[in-house]
Structure 1
């Protein structure tokens, strides 16, 4: 909102890049086709429209890599990929089984199992329903394509912001594609991988086997539990394929894969302490009691980058992902091809974290989930000189089960009473009110007037729930390209999607005396406090009937667990959820392309996307609806793709305007995730990707993305927490003083930088006749990032810069590569796109750290 104390400002970089793009575009239109030089621009083949095409002839904003380029860049996983893809966000939080992806500012948190991804994730044409399943190593990959903008026509599940397509290397008969690869690096990194094809029946049946493992120490230390323990790597996996080609017209490819993760993740050091309020003298928070509770207190601030935490136990994060798929490609004749892709997948994840993020034994959280899915796609492809079309049908079904538990530890009772005391004292405006109340209750119990006070928040209590989802999705789709003339091509697509979900969430409060507990409120406590004061002052005569009646204000305190409903939404009883959601959606695309010559493409496009609604699987505030509606998007795009062959320069650029209706926003409040439809969300921006080969031995790549995103309407968003606690300044978005929500209209979403740029320079040279080498540097700039959906002024990451370097050598005689590499060479310290209000510790912030400087050596041998 405009009244924020800290506003993110547009940097000069945006203006510079914008001028470069404008100049480049104008220059492109003025150029004639020229003969290529000895070392020219490469032809990149993509499948962004479900068929093989030259990237420069596709009216879609796409970034594409082949497998060799990724291997040379030492791109270990999806998180490394975002360095080279303007507009892509990929980061990890809470545990190794939680990852988030966004494109052009539209993304989805994976921390709520009721959400579907805004970015479609596909491996060999198979949709991956859980974002977490994509975090494993990228090994034996043929190509990766990142499609920006809604994908509401061709790709499996309809998605509102884009898609990531990963293709693995298929079995072959020719040989020469086998390899073994080893990487060693700092923090004890050891990566091993290999793959090999076997021709069982020449030109008919071939197999390919791929395997990998990755191990590394952590990058964050625990002061009690060991150095470099958290954020480690421990993962392995494999893939077995068969390719059957009984004739030139028919191929059948079967793929079975398995991957497993067992890691200690993730460390979240203290970003902001609440020991004492920054702007309110004499106001102390939970950190003031941490020492007394046996915990370690961190000051926050610059100490955040000491990469240290203190937790009661190390987090556990395990994941198993496996599946099998079969793709049939049958060329019916010169024009028609029938394609069938069938897949079954199973994904299990478990994480158990010390969710108070201290080494005081307070409380923890566990998530145990299982997901099984089946998908089937049938497609008929037609190709001719002037007309290409695709018509198909898609079916997807999944069962998703989640068992969640928030459980109290040995000293939670004392901590809970301390937190409750602060709340009550703040509510009454009198320090020591709560302590006086408890003393008065105990005095009445001693006198035999009421039952003795029970434990307010006993240890060993679990606040559990089970969430189940049965989901079915049906779709029919079609898209065609028709050449209106030699220069103009019209593309149109349409898709009908039907979604059905059956949702059940059952909440269970377990523990001594909890199930029958009445729903106390802080107001009840104030009433009891008033009564206790009246008794102590002699204003209430307990010998009368009226005086005896006032003792009802104390009856709840004799029941174990009486403090739980008073602590917040997470520990407050709630009703079960049982809902069925059925929704239909029509989406599609319309594009007009103009190609005056083989080196120039201009296009204008419109597309819309969709993802279905669902139910919040977390414990949220009672004022928020646990059911959220579908999210839809509409996007307009203008693009240019231009090769200047005489100058060996390629410029691809796109400007876009996107609106998202009923955006599914998910923000942690310190007492649970609030997942809801934000309202209208607006994004405008552009991407620029340029490649220049100024000489045979030098390559220069520039990528830039401008993502200007804000909530146009978001009337019931989260309010500032930490900033208000420390300063006493209320969120200006709170319309009424007693509202528990705030108007976030005009604010930016969390985790999305407005500006991102990467510049890469590569210099080739030959050490000897048999040793080819190059050095390459990548320098990236990431603009300011709002870290949390409430736009709390304390939740801002300033801009930062990352430098990656590598030295590559290819030994021709041995068909072997050796790569010396370093990432984040300057050891830039920054928060990895998200922080959070520490659970039940108002005024305190923790945050997830990005990786420090890493370096290593990779050796790859082909045979």
Structure 2
């Protein structure tokens, strides 16, 4: 399924898809080949790079608003952020667990979910693939994958410049790039981007503005074609990002227990953060410790495509690095009191990954076409995390944890399509993965007994390995030349895990079992009235065993998170995409998803203090209903000059942010309405005036409990704001 109208014209021509018959065909690489979207038996949403630019959507959090099955967990640090597809994802800061949703950039998988938080540069389009994609996209794609495709170097010299400004925190965005030939057989592209935003949360302690960011990055490509059968593409990128997102904004100093609904008030804490007034729309903190996080993402990759007769051999060799440094005010106070100690944290992370993929693709058009391949991956993570607890008496304690995780993975995979007739096809794919995981952990403490937020000294280490299977089987039938129905079965697999984090406890030393799933999907992709109307629909059922999830608990009087195998969970629903384009000037699209993601049989951890009576309850970050509508109309003026009117709205039902089902961590239903007015000068330039959140609706992208209440995370569009962006191409 796809949001086809959002994959607009691109600055550079996409690759020609095998089987493409219409100029309007949207080209995707969801099967590791360039193919028309409407012929691929996978539920897919596609967002074009020009939409991200013109609508001020710079990252994956921005596209989650316009892809109904995709949700994003926002936190103070990229290390804790996560993506969810169809209500399933991984929430954990542990380097010993992989994300459930795989993120891939130009064929290179990002092993840690924090790596996917950077601003996106030079984007051609983004594909959101739903359902298990383990055959071709790897083991950590058990519920889906986000496939990011950047622009290829052009055959002719081309350049562009973008500049945008937005109110409500003085947000600036600038981007520029050049692309073209360096000779007869060499082409290049180079793109740079910078953005700055002061924020929309006030810290009354020092009258500063926080919840902002400063991002900068560069991406370059060199493409060599020494012969007509050989293409070598070298890619390098570097991104530096800093954010001042606080460790939550206090929205309530009341806790409501689940399942008893017992209410506990903390008036002393409310008094301690005065003059801040907690509330559902609060945008103020009172903190004496500067919470911030800095991320550096960088990498190199080399892709070789060699046509051997009618076959194509592809090799992708890649190295990526990620550094995350954070400082967090866990107590959220202007100072220690006799009732509430201070907790100040500093974390440092260094991660390197190496990957090699070899893939052989047979020619299309045969009775059987196929792809086979081998994959190797190694990830090395080293972290240091420290917490200082200061009591109201002035006594101070320090806890420091040093830990490391190494993950190695080996895989062989293959997928074949059998063309029984011109209209009837079958797909069969499989992947065998060998995982090897080891960790070491050591925590020291200046206190011989537990103090607030710091457990006693502890040392541990271990290793585990496992061989897992993932795959896909399906049938596909062309009802008409413009309508295709399909059914697929997919098996997902995500490897074993360890809960390696600052507060690691003796009960965390055992490896978690691999997470597996069985997925069933039936869908229809169709076009009517000479391609004026596109109608896609899919129904799905996914069942998971040994779901790896964080469960919030207490230990020695302190709140802790425990990564556990939660037992069995499932998600089922229907996704719909409709796109109407009666003329070149007018487009209308709508998408929606009904998702019933729930806990089927929760296995309560031994000794858990929190309630485990959550069978039948919703999974976190899984609204039952979510949808959007988008309309665009272009009015010609004179010559190449025209006006484009665009409006979009998205809405979702109530969503629970905690698997513990606490009533105070549920966000009520809300909707956001945006609009823009564009002045276009043909293909050369455009000026867009943007209004975000027209109705001035406040909402929270995350809600979490702490010892004395609830905090909210404030999104960029929590208030109405306006702006303008200018794009010039030459």
**Structure-1-length-normalised TM-score:** 0.77
Give 1:607's match in structure 2, choosing from 487, 490, 493. Answer: 490
Select which of 230, 237, 254 maps to 2:234: 254
Q: Partner residue of 2:9?
A: none
Which of 678, 702, 705 is the matching residue for 1:837? 705
Q: Is residue 729 of structure 2 the alignment partner of residue 862 of structure 1?
A: yes
Contact 1:784–1:796, Cα closer than 8 Å, also in 2: yes
Give the equivalent residue in structure 1 for 2:349.
369
Matched, 1:748 2:618: yes
**Counterpart among 99, 121, 126 of residue 144 in structure 1:** 126
Q: 1:295 to 1:348 in 2, by over 3 A?
A: same
Structure 1 equivalent of residue 589 of structure 2? 701
- Alignment match of 2:292 (pick from 294, 316, 320): 316
Cα distance in 2 for residues equivalent to 1:390 and 1:283: 58
Given that 1:182 and 1:193 are in contact with CA atoms closer than 8 Å, whether structure 2 keeps it comes out as yes
Q: Distance in 2 between matches of 1:276 and 1:659?
A: 31
Residue of structure 2 equivalent to 1:504? 440
Name 1:235's counterpart in structure 2. Answer: 215
- Counterpart of 2:467 (choices 584, 587, 600) is 584
Q: Distance in 2 between matches of 1:374 and 1:827?
A: 45
Which structure 1 residue ranges, 5 or more long, are not aligned? Answer: 1-39, 415-457, 518-561, 719-735
Q: Which moved more, 1:89-98 or 1:580-589?
A: 89-98
Deviation at 1:646, TM superposition (A): 4.3
TM-score (norm 2): 0.91
CA shift at 1:72, angstroms?
3.1
Pair 1:45-2:34 in alignment? no
Of 540, 565, 572, which residue of structure 2 is paired with 1:684?
Answer: 572
2:111 alignment partner, SS class = coil
After superposition, residues 198-277 of structure 1 pair within 5 angstroms as 198-202=180-184, 204-227=185-208, 229-266=209-246, 268-274=248-254
Pairwise mapping of residues 396-545 of structure 1 onto structure 2 (< 5 A)?
Answer: 396-409=377-390, 412-414=391-393, 459-509=395-445, 511=446, 514=447, 517=448
* Runs (5+) with no aligned partner, structure 2: 1-21, 337-341
**Residue deviations 1:5-31, cap 9 Å, x none?**
xxxxxxxxxxxxxxxxxxxxxxxxxxx
**What displacement does 1:198 show?**
4.0
Q: Separation in 1 of the partners of 2:269 and 2:494?
A: 45
Contact 1:107 1:118 in 2 (8 A): yes
Given that 2:273 and 2:334 are in contact with CA atoms closer than 8 Å, whether structure 1 keeps it comes out as yes
Q: 1:819 aligns with which of 688, 696, 700?
A: 688
Pick one of 565, 571, 585 that aligns with 2:454: 571
Structure-2 separation of matches of 1:166 and 1:688: 22
Shift of 1:772: 2.2
Deviations 1:251-278 (A, max 9, x none): 000011100012212352212214999x
Distance 1:130 1:213 in 2: 24
Q: 1 CA distance for matches of 2:584 and 2:498? A: 57
How many angstroms does 1:744 deviate by? 2.0
Aligned to 1:850: 715
Whole-Å separation in 1 of the counterparts to 2:97 and 2:643: 46
Does 2:89 align with 1:107? Answer: yes
SS in structure 2 opposite 1:201? coil
CA RMSD of aligned residues (A): 2.4
- Tell me how far 1:784 sits from its aligned partner: 0.3
- The 3-state SS of whatever aligns with 1:56 is helix
SS of structure 2 residue aligned to 1:390: strand
> 2:98 pairs with 116, 129, 142, which one?
116
Query: Is the contact between residue 500 and residue 583 of structure 1 (CA under 8 Å) also seen in structure 2?
Result: yes
Cα 1:194–1:747 change in 2 (3 A) is same
Pairs within 5 Å for 1:316-335: 316-333=292-309, 335=310
1:165 matched to which residue of 2? 147
Instruction: Report if the CA contact (8 A) 2:633-2:646 is conserved.
Output: yes
Counting only pairs closer than 5 Å after superposition, residues 382-401 of structure 1 correspond to structure 2 as: 382-386=362-366, 387-401=368-382
1:632 lines up with 2:610 in the alignment: no
The SS at the match of 1:794 is helix
The whole-number CA distance in structure 2 between the counterparts of 1:800 and 1:658 is: 27
**2-side partners of 1:625 and 1:194: how far apart?**
49
Q: Higher helix fraction: Structure 1 or Structure 2?
A: 1
Which structure's residues are more often strand, by fraction?
Answer: 2
1:629-653 deviation digits (Å, cap 9, x = unpaired): 2111110000000101247111111
Asked if the contact 2:385–2:402 (Cα under 8 Å) also holds between the matched residues in 1, the reply is yes
Q: How many Å separate the matches in 2 of 1:653 and 1:398?
A: 38
Residue of structure 2 aligned with 1:343, choices 310, 318, 325: 318
Distance 1:266 1:110, change over 3 A: farther
Deviates more, 1:660-669 or 1:632-641: 660-669
Structure showing greater radius of gyration is 1
In the alignment, is residue 95 of structure 1 matched against residue 77 of structure 2? yes
